[in-house]
Amino acid sequence: MTSERVDKGWTKQGLGKYSTEAIFGSLSHYGAAGAGTDEAGFKALAADKYPLEIADAIQRAWKGTGPWLRFPLVAVDELYGRLLPDRLPPAKYAAALVELMHALGRMVEGAQDAPVGQKFKAVGEMKPQVPLKEGKPAEGWVNETLWRLGEWRKVLGRIVQDLAKAGHVDDAEEFLGVEEFLVPDWAGTTRALVRAQKGEKAEAVADLRKLAEDQARKGEARAAAVDCILQLEALDEARAVAMGILDEAEKKPDFHLALEMGQRLAFVYEKKRDLPAMRELKDRITKVQEAHVASHPEHK
């Protein structure tokens, strides 16, 4: 075990000037153990894990306090970049995506010097490095990338619509390509909302209905399509789709999807002030909850 360690200066200047041995030394000193305390062990961990998961494992036994409380993730990010230079860290892609969204936001606000093309190019150049699984970005990598976006994740969900509304159709289309590559489960929903903004609301609702009713899609993606129908204030269509999915989910059974649809239906009935339907739904969802608990007695 090395005797080298990082001093408190890292909080202001980062870890760039410190040796790899010093970083591992500080990780060991404050409680990291096992594979995370040397180069070979770190590379073994990183074979199937991304920085956030590695840091989380270190954090569980961490004894550092004050400024050292956040050291594990900062250290892991630094080590990941140094020891695995051919791998694209989620944080690096997220930072480039934030810069792109910032530039697009400035353009929407009227800035003539917003470096939109440059930032699109930077994100595009990283695409070949994104780790894939079955032809899609690896789920763990994507989840960490979205986490790294922080509050910018909200911007990710609406920027295409903002661009289309402001008349930047080509940029909206290009960003859609980035979004749908990163999160394939979102494919179609944002396009439908943009279509609605162009005045094609009925067609957009029809597109969203197809997405919501597609049993090959994940439950979260289907629920998101229903949410988009609600966003377009097509309450009758949302009710019909959600009711159909609820019927399907009860038969499978898929308790989580059934409960998600129950929430959407409750929203519709509240908007319509349909008290009889609300009472009937409450009884139905209560039975779903009871069946869910019965199937997982360990959760009681």
pTM of the model: 0.80
In 3D space, the residue among 199, 252, 246, 201 whose CA is nearest the CA of residue 228 turns out to be 201
Contacts of 267 (CB under 8 A, 6+ apart): 230
Tens digit of each residue's pLDDT, the chain (300 residues): 557 899 999 999 999 999 999 999 999 888 876 656 789 989 998 999 999 999 998 888 899 999 999 999 999 999 999 999 999 999 999 999 999 999 999 999 999 999 999 999 999 999 999 999 989 999 999 999 999 999 999 999 889 989 988 999 899 999 999 999 998 888 889 889 888 988 899 999 999 999 999 999 889 899 999 999 999 999 999 999 999 999 999 999 999 999 999 999 999 999 999 999 999 999 999 999 999 888 876 655
Q: List the end-to-end C-alpha distance of the chain, in Å, as a whole number.
A: 46
